[in-house]
Amino acid sequence: MSMNRDFDYSLLAKLTQAFGPSGNEQQVAEIITDNVKDYVESIVTDTMGNLIVRKKGNEQKIMIVCHMDEVGIIVTHINKNGFLYYATVGGLKNTDMISKRVIFSNGTVGIIHKEKDETIDKKPEKLYIDIGAANEQEAKELVRVGDMAVISGDFLENDSVIISKALDDRIGCFIALEVIRTVTSPYDLYFVFSAQEEVGARGAKTAAYAIEADLAIIIDTTFSYDTPKVQNNRVSLNNGVAIKVMDKSIVVSPAIKNWMAKIAAASDIPHQWEIITAGGTDSGPIHLTKGGIPTGGLAIPVRYLHSGNEIVGKKDITAGIDLLTALITTHLYFES
Amino acid sequence: MFLKYLSELHGVSGNEKDVRDYIIENIDNNVDSYRVDKIGNLLATKKGKSNPAIKVVLTAHMDEVGLFITEITSEGYLKFQTIGYMDVNILVSKPVIINNSVYGVIGSKAIHLQKPEERKQSFLIDQLYIDIGANSKEEAEKNVKLGDYAGFTTAFTSFGSGFYKGKALDNRAGCAVIMELLKQQYNCDLTTVFTVQEELGLRGSKIISNYLNADLAIVVETTSAMDNQEQDRENWVVELGQGPACSLMDQATIYRPELIKKTIQIAESYGIPLQLREGTAAANDAGNIHLAGAGIPTITISIPCRYIHSMSSVISQSDYTNCIELINLILNNCQEYINLPHRGWEVMK
């Protein structure tokens, strides 16, 4: 049984605290670039904002995908009194937004709230953001229409878990970074740090088209529903890395998921099955690219996804790093 | 003027032929070649003066929302469904035309006959029908069959202080803008794409995105304005007369900030009014086009439109001409979009 090892979690802190709503992933990409440039052959960006890092090998092309973006909001109007109105970017429920603290790329902080007597339905127009500006002009010095903000949430850790905003999917980026810096693989590795996953896996679509890999492996997060009264939940925290069986965007080929489980078992890496019926991932558009790209996925269980207070287990991170390393250093599923 | 003819032509999604034929007839002398693809999109190319030239795609959808005949009753009335997103409340008593020849009117129970509780409710589409003045099913079937399209008969006019009124301004206004621009010669290579079935979920542009390749794509659209209808300014989205609108984000696309900033700069430096689309609802063909191949840098420029998806839509004449002028300037300065750094940085080893 692999235990949780010590990693440089200050890098994860940096990654999670970076500003990166869909379409504005530059800060995250810069941190990743700084941390991989001594280990890889090339680093490029495309028009969607994907960061594509290649670690060259002579064997088949494997595309390893984790997304850089996080959910957030976009400012649609600034009113005369200096309050902001917004629309959501990615899966955020209105009812969960009241009293949330949001932060813009320039550090401006705002509080989301509602009018005293307003009832909240699905329309975010009924909520506003208070940035403490006295009037329209003062607000416009800090924020422009079209600017995005993210839900803030500090990075905290204890011996077994990490709490932060944006662990979805900076935890995937962190795992990929660890693997890039340590792995020696015969395969031609393309690490895709994808953009705009939260709005419908858009960046992954163009990256998959450009790379045309022989195999794609997604590293994302999955719901951990091990709340106090839930029994028989499929996935729980610190119970191992999850191997994707299906989500709303893909049904993984049995050959791929069984290969992943076999490799995990052979190396004593704790693992569980990810079966979700809501929510898609980058694996959706990737496996349907061109003539079809064999695609599987690893997922790190997270409690309270998209909340600003996401929780992951350190054992699961260890298992994720170990399993990804094992997968890309042994025979691929179609060779074994 | 192109816009008047385009507005009055019938082209409900899937039935765009009349619109396409009109566009072909009127751009033929201004393009190098054109073709119609298998789903019905019209693609016309015009080589630029530069060689090699930047490749720019200009696109607008030809289709409009409308009605589709689903049943002929024994009394000779036509039951129908809407094609595209339409408010059933606006349909009652409107004149329609089927197959460019059969006139009809959308009937419903008169106010006198409605029970008090019925008067408080809106009609459901099942309660409405098209009356073509036929006395029986057999008589109706002589002129109409299931699957025929019905469109509205609004005449295009200018009115008030600088407005146009017409049907299908979404998106014949976009088509007209591109047709006007094709009269010019640019340094860039132009591929103009007039798409089909946008109102059914961006279907025509899905096909285009399977083979499209360009350095920049400009989607020309109309967008719903709620100015002076909604009490709260934050719900207006755009305002008529304040210039064409540049999209920030919609349900299918997040537009690159660098491209938006460049568009604002060009508008400012030439004194063209431009507004930002202060909303994220709905989607347009950019959703497919910006994801074509390895990705195409894409912007959407829209003409603000009141009562969009109705038989009487309203746009501002100055927004229409400013939209043409803004895109003209973008095409003349398109190299500035191409030379933009990819998010400010790129590392190659």
Averaged pLDDT for residues A17-22 = 96
Closest CB to B249 among A30, A74, A80: A74
CATH code of B142's domain: 2.40.30.40
Measure B72 CA to nearest chain A CA, in Å: 39
Measure B322 CA to nearest chain A CA, in Å: 22
Closest CB to B248 among A22, A49, A146: A146
C-alpha B23/C-alpha B62 separation (Å) is 9
pLDDT score of A234: 85
CB pairs under 8 A between A and B: 95
pLDDT score of B294: 92
- Asked whether residue B246 is assigned to any structural domain, the reply reads yes
pLDDT score of A232: 76
Among B129, B152, B175, identify where a domain stops: B152
Residues 6+ apart with CB under 8 A from B276: A145, A146, B245, B246, B248, B260
**Residues B229, B338 within the same domain:** yes
Integer Rg of chain B from CA: 21
Is B342–A46 a contact, with Cβ atoms under 8 angstroms apart? yes
Taking 90 as the threshold, does the pLDDT of residue A94 lie above it?
A: no
Of A119, A33, A23, A29, the C-alpha closest to A74 is A23
- Asked whether residue B23 is assigned to any structural domain, the reply reads yes
**Residues B242, B300 within the same domain:** yes
Averaged pLDDT for residues B133-156 = 96
Confidence tier at A287 by pLDDT (50, 70, 90): very high
Of B310, B306, B313, the C-alpha closest to B90 is B310
pLDDT score of B112: 85
- Asked whether residue B159 is assigned to any structural domain, the reply reads no
Say whether B47 sits in a helix, a strand or coil.
coil
Q: CB contact, 8 Å: B146 with chain A?
A: no
- Asked whether residue B135 is assigned to any structural domain, the reply reads yes
Measure B132 CA to nearest chain A CA, in Å: 41
The total of structural domains in chain B comes to: 2
CB contacts, 8 Å: A22 with chain B: 254
Is the entire prediction scored with pTM above 0.95?
A: no
**Residues B131, B185 within the same domain:** no
Of the listed ranges A131-135, A228-232, B4-8, B283-287, the least confidently predicted one is A228-232
**Residues B117, B50 within the same domain:** no
Chain B: residue nearest A198 by CA? B254
Q: Which of residues 174-233 of B touch A (CB under 8 A)?
A: 232-233
- Asked whether residue B162 is assigned to any structural domain, the reply reads no
CATH code of B17's domain: 3.40.630.10
**Residues B60, B71 within the same domain:** no
Question: Which tens digit of pLDDT belongs to each residue from A125-176?
Answer: 679 999 999 999 999 999 999 999 999 999 999 999 999 999 999 999 999 9
**Residues B77, B58 within the same domain:** no
Among B119, B152, B185, identify where a domain stops: B152
DSSP for B56-101, written as a single string: EEEEEE--B-EEEEEEE-TTS-EEEEEESS--GGGTTT-EEEETTT
Is A77–B233 a contact, with Cβ atoms under 8 angstroms apart? yes
Catalytic amino acids of B?
A: 198
Per the listing, tokens 């076999």 go with A262
Taking 80 as the threshold, does the pLDDT of residue A2 lie above it?
A: no
pLDDT score of A332: 87
Q: Are A246 and A101 in contact (CB under 8 A)?
A: no
Residue-range domains of chain A with CATH = 10-70+165-327 (3.40.630.10), 72-151 (2.40.30.40)
Residue from B210, B215, B234 whose CB has the most chain A CBs within 10 Å, to mutate: B234
Portion of chain B with pLDDT greater than 70, in percent: 97
* CA-angle at A304, arms to A301 and A310, nearest 5°: 75
Is B249–A89 a contact, with Cβ atoms under 8 angstroms apart? yes
Taking 50 as the threshold, does the pLDDT of residue B349 lie above it?
A: no
Tokens describing residue B48: 């630029």
Instruction: Give the 3-state secondary structure of chain A.
Output: CCCCCCCCHHHHHHHHHCCCECCCCHHHHHHHHHHHCCCCCEEEECCCCCEEEEECCCCCEEEEEEECCECEEEEEEECCCCCEEEEEECCCCHHHCCCCEEEECCCCEEEEEECCCCCCCCCHHHEEEECCCCCHHHHHHHCCCCCEEEECCCCEECCCEEEECCHHHHHHHHHHHHHHHHCCCCCEEEEEEECCCCCCCHHHHHHHHHHCCCEEEEEEEEECCCCCCCCCCCCCCCCCEEEEEEECCEECCHHHHHHHHHHHHHCCCCEEEEECCCCCCCHHHHHCCCCCCCEEEEEEEEECCCCCCEEEEHHHHHHHHHHHHHHCCCCCCCCC
Taking 60 as the threshold, does the pLDDT of residue B342 lie above it?
A: no
Mean pLDDT of chain B: 94
Of the listed ranges A3-7, A22-26, A198-202, A274-278, the least confidently predicted one is A3-7
Confidence tier at A123 by pLDDT (50, 70, 90): low
Q: Which of these is catalytic: A25, A70, A178, A197?
A: A197
pLDDT score of B6: 98
Q: Are A54 and A64 in contact (CB under 8 A)?
A: no
DSSP state of B247: -
Question: Which tens digit of pLDDT belongs to each residue from A208-225?
Answer: 999 999 999 999 999 998
**Residues B336, B254 within the same domain:** yes
**Residues B116, B240 within the same domain:** no
**Residues B60, B70 within the same domain:** no
Full residue range of the structural domain in which residue B183 is found: 2-64+167-348
Confidence tier at A231 by pLDDT (50, 70, 90): confident
pLDDT score of B348: 30
- Asked whether residue B125 is assigned to any structural domain, the reply reads yes
C-alpha B113/C-alpha B134 separation (Å) is 22
**Residues B248, B293 within the same domain:** yes
ipTM of predicted complex: 0.91
Taking 70 as the threshold, does the pLDDT of residue A194 lie above it?
A: yes
**Residues B123, B240 within the same domain:** no
C-alpha B191/C-alpha A157 separation (Å) is 54
- Asked whether residue B255 is assigned to any structural domain, the reply reads yes
- Asked whether residue B160 is assigned to any structural domain, the reply reads no
**Residues B288, B225 within the same domain:** yes
Confidence tier at A124 by pLDDT (50, 70, 90): low
Q: CB contact, 8 Å: A94 with chain B?
A: no
pLDDT score of A213: 97
Averaged pLDDT for residues B293-317 = 96
